[in-house]
Amino acid sequence: MRLVADLARGKKVADVLVNLDFTDKKAALPIKNLISSALANAKSLEMPTENLIVKKITVNAGKTLQRRQPASRGSAHPIHKRTSRIFVELGEGETKK
């Protein structure tokens, strides 16, 4: 998740949405949906959206789901399914170069 979030940080929202379409990472689709949702929120607040940038995006650890995988002789091995919490802040400004 953090690799894809680093691609989006400091760039224009329109450019980020296009770049995430062509990113071959599993995390690209959830981050794209999150950024487009933040853009829709900005439109509903009647903010000018043509010069919005991704000012801040952070990825933190979320809950870890504890699961078990069946193993030989009736035993079980632990599986840790990790989740993420993502925070996005859009703002007006100039892009980083």
Domains within the chain, CATH numbers bracketed: 2-60+87-92 (3.90.470.10)
Which pLDDT value is given to residue 93?
79
pLDDT number for residue 95: 55
CB 54 within 8 A of CB 78: no
pTM summary value: 0.84
Whether 24 contacts 34, CB under 8 Å: no
Integer CA distances (angstroms), 23 to 14, 39, 43, 48, in order: 15, 20, 26, 27
pLDDT band of residue 35 (cuts 50, 70, 90) is: very high
- What pLDDT, on a 0 to 100 scale, did the predictor assign at position 94? 73
